[in-house]
């Protein structure tokens, strides 16, 4: 099957999976430009599939209401992707119902054609993971309830504990769930503060669905909002470290998305928010090139603490 045909069928599958979906979202999912999306939509319409277009700033595509397609068969690559994805989710202890994951894997193995049965069976038996256990646990009920709120555009009532231990009850319109640097967050409109807020899901002690409906924001970038909000500490402090190395070596040595690097006259300047300084200190000590911590002083203190601990361990 040609690449174009595969993408056309993938567009059709996205239309089946959503009541409405924007061209921008289809382009993002398929990693193509919006003009290609319009071309694929026209191809589907030429095949007799009733795809409706909504015009305007928030326009989207959808299948004609009441139209139903026969079940689609999975391609080999899709079967492999589904199987591996479910195995990863189960092994990394995502806050989802483990029985549902196991059931989905069993259904895939039962439903695939005979020529793929052995392949799925082998994948489930040869792939093994040894992930580090999550440092922060999230109740799967919290994830499930908020996810349903996002999906149905209904508010949820949450009991939230702040970083300093204050408990508050809030009515919350969830716009999306974001996993950022090993933490799970929900972003949306908080009726208590009357503003957009980002909540850590492990700090939600109770959650309840409501019948209150809100108007979703189709143009809202949940990931962008969370990363921007969390990249700026409340006290405004930033980490600045001068690396005595090349830009290429600095990028190779740092985990993705940990911070920004740029070439300066003295070497490479590394910047990131002043968050979780203990982990950042350990990262700096693992680097194989000279460096100089410019700020903050708390990071210097954390590096000294780790250095003294290392000396105690070796008996110096």
Higher pLDDT, residue 255 or 174: 174
Q: What is the mean pLDDT of residues 90-98?
A: 81
Question: Please, which pLDDT band fits residue 302 given cuts at 50, 70 and 90?
Answer: very high
Burial 8-37 (b: 16+ CB within 10 A, else e): bebbbebbeeeeebbbebbbeebebeeebb
Peptide bond into 98 cis (omega under 30): no
- Start-to-end CA distance of the chain, whole Å, equals 66
pLDDT for position 204: 95
Query: For the residues of 154-166, what is the DSSP string, one character each?
Result: EEEEEEEE-TTS-
Residue 233 has pLDDT above 70, yes or no: no
Among 249-258, 271-280, 281-290, where is mean pLDDT lowest? Answer: 271-280
Sign of CA dihedral 225, 230, 234, 238: negative
* Long-range contacts (CB closer than 8 Å, 24 or more residues apart) made by 74-79: 74/112, 75/1, 75/6, 76/116, 76/119, 79/108, 79/112, 79/116, 79/119, 79/120
Residue 70 has pLDDT above 70, yes or no: no
pLDDT for position 235: 60
Residue bearing tokens 């026209």: 42
pLDDT for position 174: 96
Residue 264 has pLDDT above 90, yes or no: yes
Q: How big is the chain, counted in residues?
A: 316
Tokens of 304: 């000294």
Q: What is the mean pLDDT of residues 9-37?
A: 85
For residues 274 and 230, the answer to whether their CB atoms sit within 8 Å is no
Residue bearing tokens 């909504």: 54
pLDDT for position 113: 75
CA distance 106 to 121: 10
> What value does the CA radius of gyration of the chain take, rounded to a whole number of Å?
24
Question: Please, which pLDDT band fits residue 2 given cuts at 50, 70 and 90?
Answer: low
Number of other CB atoms surrounding residue 45 within 10 Å: 13
For residues 80 and 123, the answer to whether their CB atoms sit within 8 Å is yes
The top-scoring range by mean pLDDT among 127-136, 221-230, 272-281 is 221-230
- The tens digit of pLDDT for each residue in 101-157 reads 887 888 787 777 777 777 887 888 888 887 776 667 899 899 999 999 999 999 999
Phi and psi, residue 7, nearest 5°: -65, -40
For residues 259 and 271, the answer to whether their CB atoms sit within 8 Å is yes
Apex 138 CA angle, 137 and 142, nearest 5: 165
Residue 72 has pLDDT above 60, yes or no: no
């Amino acid at each position: 099957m040609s690449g174009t045909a595969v993408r056309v069928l993938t567009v059709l599958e996205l239309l089946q999976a959503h009541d409405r979906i924007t061209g921008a979202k289809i382009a993002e999912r398929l990693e193509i430009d919006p003009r290609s999306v319009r071309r694929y939509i026209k191809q589907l319409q030429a095949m007799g599939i009733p795809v409706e277009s909504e015009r305007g700033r928030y326009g989207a595509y959808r299948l004609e209401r009441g139209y139903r397609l026969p079940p689609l068969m999975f391609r080999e690559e899709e079967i492999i992707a589904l199987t591996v994805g479910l195995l990863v989710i189960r092994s990394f202890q995502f806050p989802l119902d483990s029985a549902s994951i196991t059931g989905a894997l069993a259904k895939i193995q039962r439903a695939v054609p005979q020529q793929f049965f052995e392949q799925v069976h082998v994948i489930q038996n040869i792939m093994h993971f040894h992930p580090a256990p999550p440092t922060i646990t999230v109740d799967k009920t919290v994830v499930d309830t908020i996810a349903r709120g996002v999906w149905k555009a209904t508010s949820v009532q949450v009991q939230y504990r702040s970083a300093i231990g204050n408990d508050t009850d809030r009515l919350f319109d969830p716009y999306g769930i974001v996993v950022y640097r090993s933490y799970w967050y929900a972003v949306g409109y908080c009726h208590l503060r009357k503003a957009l807020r980002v909540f850590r899901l492990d700090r939600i002690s109770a959650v309840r669905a409501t019948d209150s409906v809100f108007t979703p924001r189709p143009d809202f970038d949940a990931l962008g909002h969370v990363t921007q909000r969390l990249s700026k500490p409340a006290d405004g402090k930033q980490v600045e470290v001068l690396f005595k190395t090349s830009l290429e070596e600095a990028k190779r040595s740092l985990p993705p998305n940990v911070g920004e690097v740029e070439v300066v006259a003295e070497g490479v300047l590394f910047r990131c928010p002043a968050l979780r300084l203990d982990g950042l200190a350990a990262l700096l000590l693992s680097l194989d090139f000279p460096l100089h911590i410019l700020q903050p002083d708390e990071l210097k203190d954390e590096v000294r603490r780790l250095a003294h601990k290392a000396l105690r361990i070796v008996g110096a």
